[in-house]
Structures are given as C-alpha cells and as structure tokens.
Chain A
Amino acid sequence: MLLTSRYALIKNERLKTYKKPSTWVLMGIIVLMTLLDLVFTKLIYSSYNFIQTSWQEQYGYSLEGYKAQLNQNPDDEHTKMLIEWTEYLLDNEIPPQDWRTDVVVELIGLKSNQQQTDPGVKFNGSDVYEYEYRVPMPGAGGGLNLSEEQRAERLDRLERILEDNDWKAYVNLKIEDIKNGYMDSGNPQEKQVNIEMYETYLKENIVPTAQNMHFLYHGDMSLSLIWKSREIESIKENKLSLLRGENRYGEMLTGSMRRAVQQDIDISLKRLATDTPPIESDSFLAQLENASDSIVLFSILLIVYSALVFASEYSGGTIKLLLITPHRRSKVFWAKIYLLFELMVIAVAANFIIAFLVSGLPESFEGIGAMQVFAMFGFIFRTPYLLYIAVKYALMLLPVLVYGALAVMLSIVTKRSSVAIAVTLMLVFGSQIIMALIAFARSQFIIPGIKFLLFSNVDLANYLTSRDMITVVDTTMTLEFSIAVLLVYMLCFMWIARDSFCRRDVK
C-alpha cells in the first residue's frame, strides 16, 4: 500500500510532466544544443585540418624566409646555416618530432658558436599550442660551455650520430653531458632526475622525441608515435617540480597540488607500464568526451524547469488539489523531486546517446575499447575510456543537482519562480566570474573559508582533467572534499525545501 501510493503519485507527476508542452520544448532545446555543440566541434576540427599544411611545406616556407633574409644580409652566417640544416631535414625526411631535430639544432648552435639565451618553450602535455612557426634560435646548444677542442670533438660526434641514426648514442651523450656538468641541470638531485629520464629511454627502448620547440610543427603528428617519450618527459618535469617545490608555472606546490603532481607521475608510470596511450584529440571518444561540456549549457534549462515545477503549482492554484489528497505532503514533495531527477537522467541520456551516435557513426566507433588512466580520490584507476567519460558526466551532474535543489528550495520558500530562477542563475554565472578572479588572486592570498562556499566546489571535472589544480581556489581542496561540500549543500537545500513545503500554509 505504501509503495503503491508512492507509485501513484509518481505516475501522476509523470503524466503532468510528459503531457506538458514545455517539457518537450526543453527536451528539444537540449537535443538541439547537443547537436549544435557536436557539429561546431566537428567544423572546428575539420577547418583546423584544412588549414594545416604538411611539415615539409612549412619547412619550405621557412626556407624561403631565410633566403629572403640572406638576400638582405648576405654575410649572415647563422642564416646560411639555418638554410643548410633545414634543407638537410627536408632531404633526409626528418619530421619535426624526430629526435634528430634536436641534434640538428645543436649542430647549428655549435657551428655558429653562439650560446643559447632563450630557454625555449618546453613541449609538455598535449595542451600546449604553438601555431607560430619559429625560427631556430642562435646557439641552441643546450647551454654547453666547451673549449674549442671539445667543441670540435662534439661536432664530430653529433654528425656521426646523425649519420648512423643512432638514438641510443645520442641519449648516452646526453647522460655524459649531465655527468660532465656540460648541461646546466641544477643540483645533484635534479641531475639525477635528468639522468633517470635518459636511462629510462634506454631501459624501456623508447625513442625520444625532439624536445626543441623551434622546429615544432603541429600537423599530423600522431600521438601514438610520441606519447611514451612524452610521458617520460612529463615524469621528469613533475619530479623536478616536487624537488623544487613549485610547478612549471612557478607556483608554490601546496596542499593538494603536491598530491596532484605526485599522482601525475603515477599516472604516467601506469600508462607506460600498461601500455595505455592517450586518445587522439580528433578521435571518436575525444569528441564524445567533449560533448559532456554541453551539460553545463543545458543544466541552466534544467534549473529553470525545476524552479517552475513547484512555482507553477502555486501560481496555478493546483497545489490545493495536490495537497488535499490522502498523502502526507512529504510524499508529494518526493514524487516531484523524483520526477525532476528522472527528467534530468533522460536529458543526459539523450545528450549522451546523440553524442555517441553523431561522433561515433562517421568513425565506425573506432577505438571504442580504448583505456584511460586517471586519478580519483587519491587512487590511480585504469578503466575503459567509456567508463571514464561516465565518471566525468557524473561529476558534472552533481553541481546541477545542487543548483536544482537550490532552485526548488527558493521557488517553494518564495513561491515565485522568477526569484528562484534569477537567484540561481546569478549564482551559476556570477560564480564563474568570481571564481576566475579568486583563482587569479590565489597566488597572492587565500581568503579563509572560501573553500566552503558552494561555488568554490562546483567544477568537479577540474579535478580529473587539470593535472596541476591550477584553477582550484584553495589548494587544500580535494575531489572528496568538494563532493562532501556539495552533498552537504544539497541536503540542506532539500531539507529546507521539504520542510517549507510540508509546513507552509497554502493561502
């Protein structure tokens, strides 16, 4: 009887919801938003690929540039050398990510006998973009400090390495450099980290990729070729961060940032140990993952809808009919809440299925079984990528639930949907601006207690994707902390809403 009466109330809410025109308008907009989001992403990718030229072409353009420079300045030795080596790279078909690029750059530096002053941009992670094609810096030799004799010997050795295409010899040379103190690689501990990196290449038989950004080219450089060496580099960078106590942006490593860096190392190690490459950014799964971002867009609609569900019963006068049935008010309340939840699940499922089909069908669902390694709650997980996307969806939905609960609470307490919608949306949008400011000011000062605010904790996916925790307002925060804070807020909102709904006089 207890169950059937609850079920009867839920069935009623379902009838009311699914026969309401605005529900279908909402669903339509959500489907449309999802589709538009997918189509735009696809367009951006295809236009990006369209404007891309091959590395050979880009090298060709550079060559023209150097030659023009030489015409103006016929005695410029450096430019002459650039021409020579660019031609060499082209002739020998050495692509930009090839380790030999580093050798070539060093040779240019040695021959022009100029010390490198610009440390260059380190290539780290897949999120560094560099559209501009850069000219090799003079003396890009890695800060070597050599006598004339040593220089000649080194030139000879490098040329031999290049001739033999012997990467192991190059890695050994690098190890020697560090040991001999040729390369400025910091204190003994830091030196050890650098040596370890090179030794890993040898031990795991992994070909290094070019570290030199000067020749970096962002065309069809397949991750599958270079991900291992990147992980090895990333491990080194993170180990150095831990040693120095600051991340690569020069920020102090405090609290959970330190843990995040350590986890980052563990992720890289796990990836290497289990041979789990990252997915390509234009792959089907990557597109599916991106589609989860549209949740943020349509969550606003769900919030508005939640506010309207309760307020419309008051404004339409139907609340009276609803409450004179032989049920405790709390049952009526939970039936409505349940239906809002059901509606959200349907909306998210629609979003997911559409994204799955639209991004998957053209690629014939290629790579659907790919694995992902990620850190959560202090553990390292290796799961199918699809499961990882599901986790990400769940983390993005939790704040939507909290905001929905807030909207429901406000609409019951004030009985006005306008107030509920205005306040909630103000929080949703306002918080993003405030958070951006706080994150910006974080390095200067930490506002005490700010981590307990609702809007400090809404960006949960951040904990999964941002390996540096750069956008967390307070570095003592962790994923479990944020989830706990959100749950407490949600319970409070729900409790006030339920209490107010059950007590309130219907005037």
Chain B
Amino acid sequence: MADVLVLENVYKSFGKRMVIDNVSLSVKEGEVFGFLGPNGAGKTTTIKMILGLLSIDSGRITIMGHDIEKGFEKAMKYISGIVENPDMYGYLSGHDNLLIHARACGAPRERIDEVVRIVGMQKRIKDKFKSYSLGMKQRIGVAQALLHNPKIMILDEPTNGLDPAGIKEVRDLLKYLAHTEGISVFVSSHILKEMQEMCDTVCIINNGRILRTGRVDELTHDAARGLYRYRLRPMDKAVALLRENAADRISEIGEDYVDLHVSEDEIEILNRRLVENGITIYGMSPVETSLEQIFMEITGGGNVVD
C-alpha cells in the first residue's frame, strides 16, 4: 500500500522550547492511523504542521508525494481535517458553512448533499451552526472534511466531549470511511481505549518524541510476550514464595492470580518449583495487554488522561 502522508525528521520549536523533536511517520492508504499521546505531547502541533497552519523548522512533510511547503496548493487537495474544535461560522447554516468549504476546495455542489447524508445531518442542515450540539458540530466537521474526496483526513480528538453513543458513531463512521471508502484517517486522541478499538496503526508520542509506532495487533502482541497469568492455590503461600525467590518477575498481583514475566525456557522450571513447594497451578494463560498498559509502560505512567 502506498504512503499517503509522510513526515521525515520534523522539528518544531516555539521560542527555545522544542515541541516536536525529530518526528517521522508514514500513513498508508485506507488505514486508520492513531496518534496517541497525553495532553501537551505535541499532537495538535504536529497536526497543524501537516495542515500547513504552522511552519516547519526543519524536516519534510509530503502528502501524496507533494511537499506541503513547496507545493502547498497541490498537497492540500488531498487532505482535509478538523483541528481542535469544529469551528465554523455560527451565524451561517450548516449548509452554507459546507458550501463555503466546497467552493474553497473546488468540490461540486451536489457533493454537499452526499456528505450530509453520510454524516446523517439531513434534517438539521438548514439550521444555524451555532444552534447545533457538539455532536452535530463534530458531524458537520466530518462532512466538511469529506467534501473534496480527500485521500487523507486529519481529525484532532474527534471524540472529545461526545457521549458514549456519539463516540461509537464517530468510531463507526471512521472505520467505514477507511475500510469502505478507502480514505486514510489520521486521528489523534489521548483516550487509548478508543484508539485500540478503531485504529489499525498507532503511533505513541510524548514530549514531542515518537516512542513507538506499529500495528495495534502487533504492538499488543509484542508487549504480551512472556507475560503469563497464573492462578495458584494457596494464594498467600504462593505469593510469599514468589516474592522471596522471583520478585523481579512479578508484574501484578491480583486477588486470585499473579502475572509473571517468564520466558518460554523458564516456564518448565518455574512450574516445577511451584509444584515442589506444594502449590497447585490450576490455571495459566498468556496475558493480552491493552494499549493502555503499553502506553503506561512506555511513558512511565505519565499523565495519560487528565
């Protein structure tokens, strides 16, 4: 699959403060790309640079092969996005707001009705934008981003402020766009659970640096390598024994389980030792880690959600 968006060694600083420090990533056609990081990690700054709202100190950003600094007009034909909030002209109707954007992007008028149908806003489209709920505004925002059939859509925290039903709607919409319409979706969030459920690839960023990039399934699988959940009896005796002999292997101690890091070679020895000490192993399974856990591990448990 071709790369739709590529960032190569991008740097950005505000005054002396380095906000984006050597960021490189690429987004492939038709994938949902999650851009993960705590608040203040540099997500919005990166997005603004991709959309040409901020200048780049050094490095290169290309969209469909067009450099956004040298070929801004060409590059912008393939990209759309919502930055921070879906801000539009409150005194205009949703339709007029879309009309403005359609004209600016060179999209035909008929496309407005299409995108309104996609986001399901037919009934309220003639109402003033300021009368919409946040969810509706978000939907109009997505409609606006769809107008000129972009190759890639950038969404900055699209689920912010939405209720669970709204979040599910957005998630389904993005999946539909990426997997059915073939539009790459670059979505940033600090809510990891959502990302895990809707993204194909994630990139974790903190303090302006990329910490890890990879496919969600690979990442979660990789991290899970060597972590096993043991169900032991008697529990207190087992915990005491493990603490005494293998404290560094303990990942987590639950009410009736212990998560342990062990390599495949070590499993046999560990199991034998436990049995020798009169402990029954009545359950043992590899642990599927969530993105959240990976994130906590990588960022050292920084302010994930605040």
Contact = CB atoms under 8 A, between A and B. Distances in A.
A19 B75 CA distance: 31
Given A324-B80, A505-B54, 9 more contacts: A8-B106, A15-B99, A20-B91, A316-B89, A317-B85, A318-B89, A320-B53, A323-B52, A326-B77
Contact of A326 (B83, B99, B100, B105): B105
Given A15-B96, A317-B84, A324-B76, A506 B104 contact: no
A503 B96 CA distance: 28
Contact of B91 (A19, A326, A505): A19
A16 B54 contact: no
Among A12, A317, A320, find the residue whose CB has the most chain B CB atoms closer than 10 A. A320
B202 to A, nearest CB: 24
A291 B103 CA distance: 40
A248 interface: no
A506 B73 contact: no
B72 interface: yes
Interface in A309-349: 316-318, 320-328
B92 interface: yes
15 contacts: A8-B106, A12-B100, A15-B100, A19-B91, A317-B87, A321-B101, A321-B144, A324-B53, A324-B80, A325-B104, A326-B106, A505-B53, A505-B55, A506-B48, A506-B54
Contacts, number: 81
A362 interface: no
Contacts of A11: 103
A15 B100 CA distance: 8
A21 interface: yes
A15 B96 CA distance: 8
Contacts of A21: 91
Contact of A320 (B75, B87, B89): B87
Contacts of B242: none
B72 A328 contact: yes
A240 B246 CA distance: 117
A19 B96 contact: yes
B81 interface: yes
Contacts of A316: 87, 89-90
B51 interface: yes
A506 B96 contact: no
A332 to B, nearest CB: 8
Nearest to B141: A321
Nearest to A503: B55
A421 B55 CA distance: 29
A326 B74 contact: yes
B238 interface: no
Contacts of B106: 5, 8, 326
Top-9 shortest CB links A-B: A317-B87, A326-B76, A325-B104, A506-B53, A8-B103, A324-B51, A505-B54, A326-B77, A12-B100
A9 interface: yes
A203 interface: no
B83 A325 contact: no
A503 B56 CA distance: 11
What band does the interface of chain A fall in when counting residues whose beta carbon is under 8 Å from B? Answer: 20 to 34
A20 B92 CA distance: 8
Interface residues of B, number: 33
B143 interface: no
Interface of B: 48, 51-55, 72-77, 79-81, 83-85, 87-92, 96, 99-101, 103-106, 144
Contacts of A328: 72-73
A506 B87 CA distance: 14
Nearest to B92: A19
Interface in A73-124: none
A16 B73 contact: no
A21 B128 CA distance: 13
Contacts of B85: 317
B142 to A, nearest CB: 13
B111 to A, nearest CB: 14
Interface in A124-183: none
A507 B14 CA distance: 10
A15 B92 contact: yes
Contacts of B76: 324-327
Interface in A8-33: 8-9, 11-12, 15-16, 19-21
Contacts of A318: 87-89
A320 B84 contact: yes
B50 to A, nearest CB: 10
A22 to B, nearest CB: 9
A503 B52 CA distance: 10
Most buried by B among A317, A325, A503: A325
Contacts of A506: 48, 53-54
A320 B145 CA distance: 12
A318 B86 CA distance: 9
A139 B116 CA distance: 94
A16 B89 contact: yes
Contacts of B81: 324
A20 B100 CA distance: 14
A505 B19 CA distance: 14
B105 A325 contact: yes
Nearest to B99: A15
A15 B74 CA distance: 26
B109 to A, nearest CB: 12
Contacts of B80: 324
Contacts of A20: 91
A21 B91 CA distance: 8
B66 to A, nearest CB: 10
A318 B73 CA distance: 19
A324 B147 CA distance: 13
A12 B106 CA distance: 12
A80 B34 CA distance: 109
Most buried by B among A21, A320, A321, A507: A321
A316 B84 CA distance: 12
A322 B79 CA distance: 14
A323 B53 contact: yes
